[in-house]
Structure 1
Amino acid sequence: MSSGIRATVKVETPECPIAKFSKRTETTINQVSTSVVRPGEDGSTTEFLAGTDTEVDGAVTGPVFSYGETNLYRRTHDGGEECPCECLGSFGCPVHRYVAEDGDLTLVFHAASFEQLQAVMDEFRERFPGISVQSLLQPPLRGTPEERVFVNRGKLTDRQYEVLQTAYRMGYFERPKGANATEIAAELDITQSTLTEHLVAAQRKIFEDVLETEA
């Protein structure tokens, strides 16, 4: 059985009552007992703790219970999939972590396969324009959490990716080399200087993520 993929995505100012609550109360919400809505389910709820005693009504109710410095609030789902959690729940993807801060929402969830992840992200991008992928991890994972970084291939242009992929396929990065720059440039029908320009740019973008630096 596949171990799946753990994805972290951030949605800017979604139509999510809890995210709106976090912005209105200037509170970070990360202690959530969530029950996402599956098709055909009614009355599912999400409960969360917030360090505020703001009285609310509508989609978020409460506080329904006090723990001293924090209070318990409740959000009732209607199955309309108007917020990211409900949309995610329709795919059957479990939520690993949920953080609402200043109106933005960060979700860590598990997808069974890259195909399912692609379907989820396609739906997310259609419904929530302000979404970005923060990280993708596929077990088994090596190294400490600090050593695991997300390399954003989307930084590369189509041409940079093509050049990098061709150079790798032809053995340019092997020792001894399987092909030299002249041979790769000929394969791509470009000059050697253009090949070098694309390779350097592509590698720099990748190194920015691996070394966690900025250009």
Structure 2
Amino acid sequence: MSDGIRATVSFTAPGECPIATASHTADGRIEQVSTSTSPSESEHSVTEFIADGDIEETDRIEPVFSYGDRSVFRAHHHPPVNCPCETLGEHGCPIHRYSAEDGQLTLVFHAPDFETLQSIMDRFRERYPPVDVQRLLQPPLEGSPEERVFVNRGKLTERQLEVLTVAYEMGYFKRPKGANATEVADALGIAQSTFTEHLVAAQRKLLVDILE
């Protein structure tokens, strides 16, 4: 059996996700969510979550019970698919954790392989842009959870990625160097100062993911 991949993805426009909608009126972040399988065309499922304060009741959200300042709410999922949680249900992928605040939704979920993950991400980008991939983990991994980070090279421009790739392939990062800055810049057809500018910008973007 494959170990699978755990992905953390954030949405600023998560469609009609009832949990994200509820977070607009909740007092603080919604984090304690019980997961359930999202519906197929012939099934119905629910998700329950705890929130502070009053949340407006809708045709998809109903209160279950209250204790003190906190209440348990139930969100109903039904076709057609119109939120990221239900999109994961289409692919049979379990949700590990939800988080929602001020309408922004973050999902941690498991995909069995990269092919399924790619299909999910394609659907996410089609239905709920913009999509922010915050972390990807594939066990077994070394180090503590804090040390296992996803480096999002999508932050790089095409030119920055090209500069990094050529520099790496020519041995610029080796010790001793396989090529110096002048040689890499010549291979790219740019000035040395331009090469350095692109290289520093690319490294700064990637270091944010590694060191943040």
Give the TM bin, normalised by the shorter chain: 0.7 to 0.9
Partner of 1:87: 87
1:47-126 aligned at under 5 Å gives the runs: 47-52=48-53, 54=55, 56-62=57-63, 64-126=64-126
- When structure 1 is superposed on structure 2, of 6-15 and 181-190 the one drifting more is 181-190
Identity of aligned residues (%): 62
CA distance in 2, matches of 1:105, 1:53: 19
Change (3 A) 1:33 1:158: same
Between stretches 121-130 and 50-59, larger displacement belongs to 50-59
Cα distance change, pair 164–55 in 1 and its aligned pair in 2 (3 A): closer
Distance across 2 between alignment mates of 1:27 and 1:197 = 42
Which amino acid is the alignment partner of residue 153 of structure 2? Answer: R
| TM-score (ref. length: structure 1) | 0.86
Q: Which runs of 5+ in 1 are unaligned?
A: none
Alpha-carbon contact 1:37-1:79 (below 8 Å) kept: no
The worse-fitting range, judged by mean Cα deviation, of 38-47 and 115-124 is: 38-47
Amino acid at match of 2:150: F
Q: Which letter maps to 1:22?
A: S
The secondary structure found in structure 1 opposite 2:74 is strand
Deviation at 1:78, TM superposition (A): 1.0
Structure 2 gaps, min length 5 = none
Residues 193-204 of structure 1 mapped to structure 2, 5 A cutoff:
193-204=193-204
Is the CA contact 1:7–1:109 (under 8 Å) kept in the aligned structure 2?
yes
Give yes or no for the alignment of 1:170 onto 2:170.
yes
Give TM-score scaled by structure 2 length: 0.87
The verdict on how the C-alpha distance between 1:53 and 1:160 changes in structure 2, with shifts beyond 3 A counting, is: closer
Counterpart code for 1:121 = M
Asked if residue 159 in structure 1 is aligned to residue 149 in structure 2, the reply is no
Amino acid at match of 1:21: A
How many residues are treated as equivalent by the alignment?
211
Aligned residue for 2:139?
A: 139
Cα displacement (A) at 1:82: 0.6
Q: Residue 53 of structure 1: CA displacement?
A: 5.2
Q: Residue deviations 1:156-178, cap 9 Å, x none? A: 11111111111112221111222
| Alignment correspondent of 2:47 | 46
- 1:149 equivalent to 2:149? Answer yes
Given the superposition, is the C-alpha separation of residues 209 and 67 from structure 1 closer, same or farther in structure 2, using an over 3 Å criterion?
A: same
What secondary structure sits across from 1:25 in the alignment? coil
Distance 1:177 1:124 in 2: 42
Distance 1:141 1:10 in 2: 23
CA distance in 2, matches of 1:194, 1:150: 28
Pick closer, same or farther for the CA change 1:145–1:188 going to 2, 3 Å.
Answer: same
Q: 1:28 to 1:142 in 2, by over 3 A?
A: same
Deviation at 1:68, TM superposition (A): 4.6
Q: Which amino acid aligns with 1:172?
A: Y
Cα deviation digits, residues 74-132 of structure 1 (max 9, x gap): 12211311111001211122111001212211101112223322221221111112432
Change (3 A) 1:188 1:90: same
Which is further off, 97-106 or 136-145? 136-145
Q: Quote the RMSD (CA, aligned, Å).
A: 2.2
Q: 1:54 to 1:165 in 2, by over 3 A?
A: closer
C-alpha distance 92-146 of structure 1, shift in aligned 2 (>3 A): same
Residues 185 and 195 of structure 2 are in contact (CA less than 8 Å); yes or no, is this contact kept in structure 1? Answer: yes
What is aligned with 1:30?
Answer: 31
